[in-house]
């Protein structure tokens, strides 16, 4: 019994000596998790405060160096207190802009509607058109329509008419005025009945005609 115990102790001392360090696979014995984290922190998250600046991709910039830190395309300067970035006043985007790019420091409109909409119709930039006989319009580069409405002169008659495709009314029979309920031409005396001769006021067609009684020429009663 004592012999067997002695042999066992000999084996315990001999076997570890036969195992070489190369035979141990270190992957089978992972390092302590805390040690791994500490090692990775030292490699990736170096402290550059007061020495430089780091952008979102991990690139390091020296003090005084100009760079773009990340999603913002506005340039920054690396200082001891960290990046100091430009904050420009960007121009306003046109309300009718259909395509905006953010590749620069300020958003930029790349496409604006190249036509105007007016009463359900589209017109090209600088195109002139007449939506009605009295309107003259133009499609401006701002995609807005500017119109001018014709200012018609007062017609010199009491019965003006509107011709197709014409804006202002016209006096087809020339100037005239009312003599009672009768329309008489201007510029001449008109016998409106057996006793009255009338004429229009010069330039005042809206006034009733001026009439004077003459000797009546009616038939004498039998």
Residue identified by tokens 């696979």 is 25
What is the per-residue DSSP string for 129-160?
E-SSTTEEEEE-TTS-EEEEE--PPPPSSSS-
Whole-number Å distance between alpha carbons of 33 and 31 = 6
Residue-level pLDDT at 222: 40
Residue-level pLDDT at 52: 84
Residue-level pLDDT at 138: 96
Which pairing describes strands 135-139 and 60-62: parallel, antiparallel, or unpaired? unpaired
Q: Bridge partners of 10?
A: none
Residue predicted with more confidence, 221 or 126: 126
Tell me the range of 66-80, 101-115, 180-194 where mean pLDDT is highest: 180-194
Residue-level pLDDT at 22: 43
Assessment of whether the complete model's pTM goes beyond 0.75: no
Euclidean distance between the first and the last CA atom of the chain, given in angstroms as a whole number: 185
Residue-level pLDDT at 127: 95
Q: What is each CA distance from 83 to 15, 57, 101, 106, in whole angstroms?
A: 62, 15, 25, 19
Q: Bridge partners of 149?
A: 135
The predicted model gives 192-217 an average pLDDT of: 82
Q: Same CATH topology for 51-83 and 113-147?
A: yes
Residue-level pLDDT at 136: 92
Extents of the domains making up the chain: 51-83, 113-147, 153-214
pLDDT exceeds cutoff 90 at 98 = no
Q: Mean pLDDT check: name the lowest of 112-126, 138-152, 172-186, 197-211.
A: 197-211
Length of the chain: 222
pLDDT exceeds cutoff 60 at 169 = yes
Whole-number Å distance between alpha carbons of 169 and 145 = 26
pLDDT exceeds cutoff 60 at 56 = yes
What is the per-residue DSSP string for the chain?
-HHHHHHHHHHHHHHHHHS-GGGS-GGGSPPPHHHHHHHHHHHH----TTTEEE-TT--EEETT-EE--SS--S-EEEETTEEEE----PPPPPTTEEEEE-SSSS-EEEEE--EEEETTEEEETT-EE-SSTTEEEEE-TTS-EEEEE--PPPPSSSS-B--TT-SS-B-TT-SEEEETTEEEETTS-EE-SSSEEEEPPTT-TTSPPEEEE----PPPP-
Q: What is each CA distance from 50 to 41, 64, 79, 80, in whole angstroms?
A: 19, 11, 7, 4
What mean pLDDT, rounded, does the chain reach? 76
Q: What distance lies between CA 163 and its chain's CA centroid?
A: 41
The predicted model gives 99-125 an average pLDDT of: 86
Residue-level pLDDT at 72: 61
CATH class, domain 113-147, is mainly beta
Read off the tokens for 2.
């004592």
Residue predicted with more confidence, 74 or 6: 74
Report residue 25's pLDDT band, with 50, 70 and 90 as the boundaries: very low
pLDDT exceeds cutoff 60 at 32 = no
pLDDT exceeds cutoff 60 at 166 = yes
CATH class, domain 51-83, is mainly beta
């Amino acid at each position: 019994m004592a012999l067997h115990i002695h042999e066992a102790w000999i084996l315990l001392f001999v076997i570890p000596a036969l195992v070489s360090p190369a035979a141990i696979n270190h992957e089978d014995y992972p390092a302590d998790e805390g040690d791994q984290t500490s090692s990775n922190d030292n490699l990736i998250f170096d402290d550059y405060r007061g020495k430089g600046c780091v952008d979102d991709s991990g690139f390091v910039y020296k003090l005084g160096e100009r760079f773009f830190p990340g999603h913002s395309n506005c340039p920054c300067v690396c200082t001891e207190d960290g990046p100091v970035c430009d904050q420009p006043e960007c121009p306003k985007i046109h309300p009718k802009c259909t395509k905006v790019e953010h590749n620069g420091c300020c958003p930029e409109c790349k496409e604006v509607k190249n036509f105007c909409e007016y009463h359900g119709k589209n017109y090209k930039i600088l195109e002139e058109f007449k939506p009605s006989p009295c309107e003259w319009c133009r499609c401006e580069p701002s995609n807005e329509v500017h119109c001018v409405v014709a200012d018609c002169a007062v017609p010199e008659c009491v019965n003006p008419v509107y011709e197709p495709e014409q804006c202002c009314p016209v006096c087809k029979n020339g100037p005239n005025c009312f003599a009672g309920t009768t329309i008489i031409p201007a510029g001449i005396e008109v016998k409106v009945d057996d006793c009255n001769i009338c004429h229009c006021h010069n330039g005042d067609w809206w006034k009733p005609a001026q009439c004077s009684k003459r000797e009546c020429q009616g038939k004498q009663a039998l």
